[in-house]
Every structure is written in C-alpha cells, then in structure tokens.
Amino acid sequence: MRAAVARADRLLHLVQQLRRRQRPVSAETLADELGVSIRSIYRDIQSLRAQGAEIAGEPGIGYVLKPGFLLPPLMFSDDEIEALVLGLQFALDQGDRTLGRAAKDAVGKLRAVLPPDLRHLIDDAGVVAVPAWGRQDDAIDLALVRRAIREQRKVELGYVDAKGEVTTRVIWPIAVAFHERVRTVVAWCELRQAYRTFRSDRIRDFVAQESRYPRPRKAMIREWRAIVGARPAAFE
C-alpha cells in the first residue's frame, strides 16, 4: 500500500508543478524535477486525466493544466497531513471557542476522507502544539470580531487602556492576532487616525455597525504589514 501512497504523492507534486506554470512544460523537464523517468510522467499524465484533470498537450509539445482541477484527499502527502494537524491543534488550543469547535469538526472530516493507512498520521501525529500558559481571558466573543472582519463592517467598542481609562472608539477591524498570552484585534482607529491593536481582554463593548469601512480589507492588510513589518502568511 505504501507504493500506492508514494505514487499518489508523486501525482500531487506533478499537479503542483503544472499549476505553477502558465505555459506548456515538457515531460523531460517534469521528469527531471520529480526525479522519475519520462515514461512515468506519461503514465501519470494519463492517470490525472482519468481523474478529471484537464491537461492539454502531448509528447514532444509539452503539457499545461487548465484551472479548476481538485485532487481527492488521498493526494495529501504525509508532511502535508502533519502540517494540517499541527495547525488544527493550534486552532483548538489558541483559537476562540468557535474556532476550537471548527478545528474539531475539521479533524473529523479529515479523518473520514483519508484512506485507512493514513489515518494514524492524525491520531498519532509526531507534531504537538504546546498549550499556552497564563493567557488572558477574552472579554468578548472573538467569533463576533471575526464575523465583522469577514463582512468588513465598522465596529464601535469600549476600550480600557493601560492606565485604566475607558474610551469609545469606532474601528475598522482587519485581523485577529493570536499571541501566546493575549489576543489582539488589529484595526484602523478613527479616533487616532492610525492602525492600532486592541487587547481582547480590555474590550468592554463590541457592536458591529451596518456601515462597511470604505477601503478594501486586503489593501489595508498590506498597508499595515508594511508599517509594522509584519510577515505575510506563508501560503500567500
């Protein structure tokens, strides 16, 4: 069965190589990059086509993958499964309650669709997310914050600063940051006319407004990262 899994892993890498290119790529180039024979590339191309992949081209000309093809769950490599498990462990431990429940559900779905010989990578994963100690409790439900971010809505909040003073702000939330001991809401603050981070344990009131903030969230994220030097997510 491991031979079948190894071939499935190779098919995954072949699809990834094809997705990276806008122009046809030769079987010779693919064989060299994957460390297999040209004959194996021809066979794998036919296997992917049989699974529904729209791969245009032929020997001597090259191949190009048309967008829209999704691989079955079997196509996760061992390392990719462990990466998913580690991320879900972090979400379960460090996310809010709603994210924690979603992480549990996602693990169940992943376990259900993986073939039997790969399920042990979930239950006996060699990666562990260490629980955070001494983390401050959230004063609000962060699921509400994440919903406001998805809908790009302005929010009115009551906030207690480091001196214990309470202010009312209107913010444009763009992200929730999960630190080891505290969670923060990253937002544009209308009061300060600048980007600010608000600790979730100091937010006293949080009311999403009907109005949406006037700038695209994606552009604001890029702007905030440029200002504070935040590293983009690895998968972007």
Whole-number mean pLDDT of the chain?
84
Q: How far is CA 160 from CA 172, 198, 203, 204, in A?
A: 18, 9, 6, 7
- What mean pLDDT do residues 183-198 have? 94
The predicted-structure confidence for 2-39, as pLDDT tens digits, reads as follows: 344 456 677 878 888 888 887 899 999 999 988 889 99
- Specify whether the CB–CB gap between 28 and 34 falls below 8 A: no
Instruction: Give the H/E segment covering residue 112.
Output: helix 97-113
- Name the DSSP letter for residue 180: S
| Residue for token pair 């191949």 | 63
Helix, coil or strand: residue 6: helix
pLDDT at 73 over 60: no
Rounded Cα distance, 71 and 44, in Å: 13
pLDDT at 176 over 90: yes
Q: Name residue 178's amino acid.
A: F
Confidence of residue 71 (pLDDT cuts 50, 70, 90): low
pLDDT at 192 over 90: yes
The model's pTM: 0.62
pLDDT at 107 over 80: yes
Rounded Cα distance, 68 and 52, in Å: 10
- Specify whether the CB–CB gap between 167 and 158 falls below 8 A: yes
**Mind listing the domains of the chain with CATH numbers?**
2-74 (1.10.10.10), 76-123 (no CATH), 142-228 (2.30.30.520)
- φ/ψ of 98, rounded to 5, equals -65, -40
Where is average pLDDT lowest: 1-5, 104-108, 226-230?
Answer: 1-5
Rounded Cα distance, 140 and 149, in Å: 15
pLDDT at 101 over 80: yes
12 vs 221 pLDDT, higher one: 221
Rounded Cα distance, 11 and 51, in Å: 11
CA-closest candidate to residue 48, choices 28, 78, 77, 74: 74
pLDDT of residue 3: 41
Confidence of residue 221 (pLDDT cuts 50, 70, 90): very high
Length of the chain as a residue count:
236
pLDDT of residue 117: 67
Q: How far is CA 39 from CA 30, 81, 112, 144, in A?
A: 11, 29, 34, 54
Beta bridge partners of 28: none
Rounded Cα distance, 62 and 117, in Å: 35
Rounded Cα distance, 27 and 127, in Å: 36
- What mean pLDDT do residues 150-171 have? 93
Instruction: Give the H/E segment covering residue 184.
Output: strand 183-189
Rounded Cα distance, 128 and 89, in Å: 7
Where is average pLDDT lowest: 68-72, 126-130, 195-199?
Answer: 68-72
- What mean pLDDT do residues 98-107 have? 88
